[in-house]
Amino acid sequence: MSGERLLTIDSLSVTFGGLDALKNLDFHVDEGEIVSVIGPNGAGKTTFFNMISGMVAPTAGDIVFRGESLLGFDPNQVTARGIARTFQNVRLFANMTILENVMVAQHCRTKQGVFGALFNTPGFRREEEEIRAHAEKVLGFFGTRLIGYRLHQPASVLSYANRRRLEIARAMATKPTIILLDEPVAGMNPKESEELTGLIGKLRSEWGFTIVMIEHDMNVVRDVSDRVVVLDHGETIAQGSFEEVSTDPEVIEAYLGRPVEGAS
Amino acid sequence: MTAHLESGTHEVIPARGGLDQNWRKLLRYGGLLALVLVFVSLIGMPVKLDSRIVVEPYISMGYLSLLWLPALLGYTVSAEKVLEGMASHARGAHELVAGAIVGLVGGAGLALLIWGLDTRDLSDPLVNWGDNLLGLLTFNETVGYGMLVWLGISTGLGLLGGLLHLLPRTATRAVLTALLAVFLVSALESALDDISEGFRLEWLFEWLFEARGGLTPKGAIAVAVVAAGYVVFGRSRAKAVRQRYDAMPTVERTRANAALLVLAGVAVVVLPMFLGKLTNELLANVGLFLLLALGLNIVVGLAGILDLGYVAFFAVGGYTTAILTSPQSPGLSPELPWLVALVVVIGMATLAGLFIGAPVIRMRGDYLAIVTLGFGEIIRLTVRSDWASGLTGGAQGITGIPGAGIFGVAEVRGIDPQAVFYLVAFFCAVAIYVSWRLERSRLGRAWMAVREDESVAEAMGINTVNVKLMAFVVGAILASFSGAIFAAKVGSVFESSFKILVSIVILVVVIVGGMGRIAGVIAGAVVLIGVLGGPNQPGLLAEFSEFKLLIYGALLVWMMLKRPEGLIPNVRRSRELHQEEFLQDAWLRGQVDADEEGNTTGGATA
Ligand SMILES: Nc1ncnc2c1ncn2[C@@H]1O[C@H](COP(=O)(O)OP(=O)(O)O)[C@@H](O)[C@H]1O
Ligand SMILES: [Mg+2]
């Protein structure tokens, strides 16, 4: 199932004022994989995503994507190279419409500037058409929920579940190779999260994305992951298939050694 | 909100008794009223504005500056939000008594001031303390008479303010509109004089206005009746037109928009021909500031960059034009034609935008605002410095700037304000077109994303530094156009024309109009610059110029507190508020998945 090695992370560490958020983390993703990252709250999972997407600089280690080190890149450069992400605490462009949220995410794949816009050149019109068509295609992935009359509503009117879907749509619209999903089903009811689990599978089978996902919902993790990585206190404590990891004594210890919370 | 009221889902409980009051609140409001009345008196508004008559011989703007306050506070003391699902009291004697008491306390404050004016001399720190004010407040009668009359007037107006709560909505609206119309018509007196001459309507003007200024009583009544009549009879029709417009399919709406646009264009071209010098001069000033405001609107309204040093680009445009066109510019003096200079102006503005933008663009929020504020001053002080005075003339400025020659067709200069207006209007049209096109483009969307959440925009692949620099440059070019026209119009440039105040005034125009909204910015410029005047330019209410900054400041604070969306709110924002209310209602009624339901109904119509 897995193809070429896409992302290699080599003894990555980060410290926030004395706190080791991540310690000597090694990690890799191959093309076409779905990898889940799990671990208790505060384990450093979101920090791990922030580091890959260039929003936080690591204090040591290296991140290599397709043979190129991502260290020192701005987030937009990382996205342009093909790594998109969603945010755990949904961060949509609330006053922009649903359509605009997805259109703007194609920024780094398009190039028309002031001249084209002012003179409405054929190139400009063609590109706008393409941006819009791609946006509607991406939004159509979630059924009828985000299209039709919804296209021109501001993102802030959406229900919680739809906001999460729009976050994913926005990441898809950047035409990435890898999508990083930070707790995609948090706050959804069981029916909604089951449906989204199916869609995550389709993100790979139909769209060809490779997926790294942080998730607390073990049903989702079991259903879609090829491989599970367990973080605790910024360190990898286990890696392997869901069955291997879920029976690992150290993992059980990590989850039982402190109160287990559902989400966040 | 109104939808809730009309649907009547809130419970109404019987009115409270007249004496069942929250006395502390009344005292607080009354005290506030007293303070404001005394403050307004002591800053000299009543005396300075007394010469400006609203309705001859009854009322001047001076008295009006005091009179509206008791009514306003008498109204607001009983204003309360009626919330969905909450009980509210019926209105009655309670509101009247509350308004009257607030008015009474305020009147007492003013009476105290009269007594103080009579017995003490505080004219040392308080320059307006003196016989002029005393005479005005006592109506040139005895002190006791003045004190009693003000107690009475203030109480009565407070009572009237409270009464507004008891009237039906339409009646309240009609009364307020009528009063506002009388005030506006009288404020527009000089412009109307001018317009009526152009349209051969002098007879109407003479019927409405006294020869020595101010509306005639019958004129005032006519204006009030027409305004109230519009509210009672015309409003529903206007609403219907509006609804029909909203319901139009996109194609038709585009056609309607185009028709409106052509109409507006024709008005802009034709109207000035009927106007005199004074009004054209006023319009030209409004246009210059509108051009600046449209540029700043891109920077602040679209890209969300709070640039407080925007005047720097206005200065760049003005000085570049002056140096290149004036035979009297001290250093370099190529005496280029205005249009050729304009090309260089664009280049200089771009450079200035990049030069100022590059260092500040990586900052955010408050830091950026403060640094841009500094840069704005740095540019002005550099222009003034000895070091640059060889080029810019230092404090002496540059004079002798010729008019703007337009392909030999016209020579646009200050003595012909109509030509200046046409030139400004052309550039405003360009600015509007640019804003409109860019807002709907890849770049405009990126600006909005940066405004909404810069880190997320960055993570979505937007090079925020580049995009923000573009906003800076586009804004800079538009401001420099305004500067170039300004130089040709005035014929000279001095660094004192480019003070921070200009930045602030433009920002207020943008905020008051409604950030990110072109129509709002136009409305803001017309109302503020046209009526009150620009930083150095008189408006229609020339008597107000001393209090202009006070009013600008008060307006800004009030806008930020009560109406952050601006005069003409963004359609999007109001729609969004409406939607949230809708969802909330659905939730209250127990329709749990409002989202899914909206989906099926919407799906059918879509
Ligand atoms: N920007 C930051 N500054 C300081 N501490 C941070 C920062 N970001 C995260 N942390 C800390 O790093 C730890 C890991 O956080 P996070 O990655 O959000 O955990 P998780 O997503 O696994 O719940 C937490 O203790 C958190 O408080
Ligand atoms: Mg997290």
Q: Which amino acid is at B275?
A: L
Does residue B128 fall inside a structural domain? Answer: yes
Asked whether A231 and A237 are in contact (CB, 8 A), the reply is yes
Does residue B57 fall inside a structural domain? Answer: yes
* Interface A:B, Cβ pairs < 8 A: 129
The pLDDT tens digits of the residues spanning B22-75 come to 889 999 999 999 999 999 999 988 888 888 888 877 888 889 899 999 999 999
Cα B298 to chain centroid distance, Å, stands at 18
Higher pLDDT, B161 or B544: B161
| Domains located in chain A, CATH noted | 1-82+176-264 (3.40.50.300), 90-174 (no CATH)
A-chain CB neighbours of B470 within 8 Å are: 114
Q: Judge whether B581 is closer than 8 Å to chain A, CB to CB.
A: no
Is there a single domain that holds both residue B479 and residue B594?
no
Does residue B172 fall inside a structural domain? Answer: no
Ligand 1 pocket member A263 (CB < 6 A): no
Give the residue on A whose Cα is nearest the Cα of B584: A157
Domain boundary among B150, B166, B182: B166
A69 bridge partner residues: A64
Q: Judge whether B302 is closer than 8 Å to chain A, CB to CB.
A: no
Provide ipTM, 2 decimals: 0.93
Is there a single domain that holds both residue B587 and residue B504?
no
Domain boundary among B486, B508, B530: B508
- Cα of B145 vs centre of ligand 2, distance in Å, is 73
Distance CA(A163)–CA(B556), nearest Å, equals: 34
Which helix (DSSP H) or strand (DSSP E) does residue B507 occupy?
A: helix B500-513
Residue to substitute in A38, A41, A47, A215 for testing ligand 1 pocket (most ligand atoms within 8 angstroms of CB): A47
Is there a single domain that holds both residue B591 and residue B488?
no
Higher pLDDT, B507 or B556: B507
Closest-CA distance of chain A to residue B590, Å: 16
When pLDDT is cut at 50, 70 and 90, the band that residue B595 belongs to is: very low
| Residue (of B193, B211, B210) closest to B202 by Cα position | B193
Distance CA(B487)–CA(B266), nearest Å, equals: 27
Tokens coding A132:
């819009």
Q: Could you give the number of structural domains in chain B? A: 3
pLDDT surpasses 80 at B320:
yes
User: Given this model, what pLDDT does residue B568 score?
Assistant: 58
Residue to substitute in A16, A55, A89, A261 for testing ligand 1 pocket (most ligand atoms within 8 angstroms of CB): A16
Q: Judge whether B346 is closer than 8 Å to chain A, CB to CB.
A: no
Ligand 1 pocket member A233 (CB < 6 A): no
Intra-chain end-to-end CA distance of chain B, in Å: 27
Is there a single domain that holds both residue B44 and residue B129?
yes
A224-242 CB burial, b ≥16 within 10 A, e <16 = bbbbbbbbbbbbbbbbeeb
Distance CA(B167)–CA(B158), nearest Å, equals: 15
Burial class (CB in 10 A: 0-12, 13-18, 19+), B67: middle
The closest residue, in CA terms, to atom 4 on ligand 1 is A16
Higher pLDDT, A66 or B410: A66
Does residue B12 fall inside a structural domain? Answer: yes
Domain boundary among B492, B508, B524: B508
pLDDT surpasses 50 at B452:
yes
Q: Where are the alpha helices (DSSP H) in B271-310?
A: 277-296
Is there a single domain that holds both residue B460 and residue B581?
no
Give SS3 for A34: strand
A-chain CB neighbours of B444 within 8 Å are: 117
When pLDDT is cut at 50, 70 and 90, the band that residue B83 belongs to is: low
Ligand 1 pocket member A14 (CB < 6 A): no
Give the residue on B whose Cα is nearest the Cα of A159: B595
> What number is the average pLDDT over the span B182-191?
86
Per-chain mean pLDDT for chain B:
84
Asked whether A213 and A184 are in contact (CB, 8 A), the reply is yes
User: Given this model, what pLDDT does residue B566 score?
Assistant: 62
> What number is the average pLDDT over the span A165-174?
95
Does residue B179 fall inside a structural domain? Answer: no
pLDDT surpasses 60 at A258:
no
Is there a single domain that holds both residue B346 and residue B477?
yes
Q: Which amino acid is at B414?
A: G
When pLDDT is cut at 50, 70 and 90, the band that residue B90 belongs to is: confident
Q: How many residues does chain B have?
A: 606
Among B255-269, B300-314, B559-573, the least confident range: B559-573
Asked whether B554 and B528 are in contact (CB, 8 A), the reply is no
User: Given this model, what pLDDT does residue B589 score?
Assistant: 45
A16 bridge partner residues: A19
The closest residue, in CA terms, to atom 27 on ligand 1 is A42
Among B178-182, B294-298, B362-366, B508-512, the least confident range: B362-366
Ligand 1 pocket member A55 (CB < 6 A): no
Does residue B429 fall inside a structural domain? Answer: yes
DSSP string of A66-81, one letter each residue:
TTEE-TT--HHHHHHH
User: Given this model, what pLDDT does residue A156 score?
Assistant: 87
The pLDDT tens digits of the residues spanning A183-204 come to 999 888 889 999 999 999 999 9
User: Given this model, what pLDDT does residue B603 score?
Assistant: 35
A46, A140, B309 from A232: Cα distances, Å:
12, 37, 49
Tokens coding B459:
């993570």
Does residue B566 fall inside a structural domain? Answer: no
Distance CA(B186)–CA(B62), nearest Å, equals: 13
Does residue B188 fall inside a structural domain? Answer: no
Tokens coding A20:
């080791």
The pLDDT tens digits of the residues spanning B384-440 come to 888 888 888 888 888 888 877 778 677 777 778 888 999 999 999 999 999 999 998
Ligand 1 pocket member A16 (CB < 6 A): yes
When pLDDT is cut at 50, 70 and 90, the band that residue A50 belongs to is: very high
pLDDT surpasses 60 at B581:
no
- The beta-carbon neighbor of B461 closest among A118, A148, A174 is A174
Starting at the earlier edge strand, list the strands of the sheet with A19-30. Answer: A19-30, A5-16, A60-65, A68-69
Name the residue range of residue B588's domain: 576-606
B-chain CB neighbours of A149 within 8 Å are: 602-603, 605-606
